[in-house]
Amino acid sequence: MEIKRISDSISIYSDGKRLQVIHDLGDEFILDINLTEEQAYNVDNLSQFSIIRLEPVFKICGFCSKAGEGMHRLRWAILQFEEFEQYIKKNQDDLMGWWNNPGGKRK
C-alpha cells in the first residue's frame, strides 16, 4: 500500500475504492476527501460532459475548548487543513489517477 505524506500530521492512501485520510490532529477533527461531479457544456459542439473534482473536507465533531490547549489544537488543525487543501487542489490529476489505479498497476 502506497501512502502519500502531505504534512507531518496528514497522509493519504488508497484502499482501491477511495482515498483515505490519516491524521493525528485529534479525534474531534475529521479530514476527508469528497468526489464531486458537475455537468458542463461544450458550446463549440453542443455536447455535455462531466467535471469530476476532489474536494477537501474539514469538520469538528465533538468538544473543542475555546481556551488554552483546545484553541491551540484548533488553530493547528486549521493550519494543517489549509496545507491539505492546497495539496488537493494542486495535485487533482495525480490523485484522481491514483484513486482510479492505486499502486500504479498497468491495465
Q: What's this model's pTM, rounded to 2 decimal places?
A: 0.76
Residue 40's identity, in one-letter code, is: A
Residues 51-88 pLDDT 10s: 888 999 999 887 766 677 778 888 889 999 999 999 99
Half-sphere exposure of 54 (CA within 13 A, CB side): 26
Helices (H), the chain: 69-90, 92-100
Residues 8-52 pLDDT 10s: 899 998 877 778 898 998 888 889 998 888 888 888 888 888 888
Q: What is the overall mean pLDDT for the chain?
A: 83
Grid cell at residue 50: 462531466
pLDDT at 107 exceeding the cut of 60: no
What is residue 1's predicted lDDT score, i.e. its pLDDT? Answer: 63
Domain around 14: 3-104
Domains in the chain, number: 1
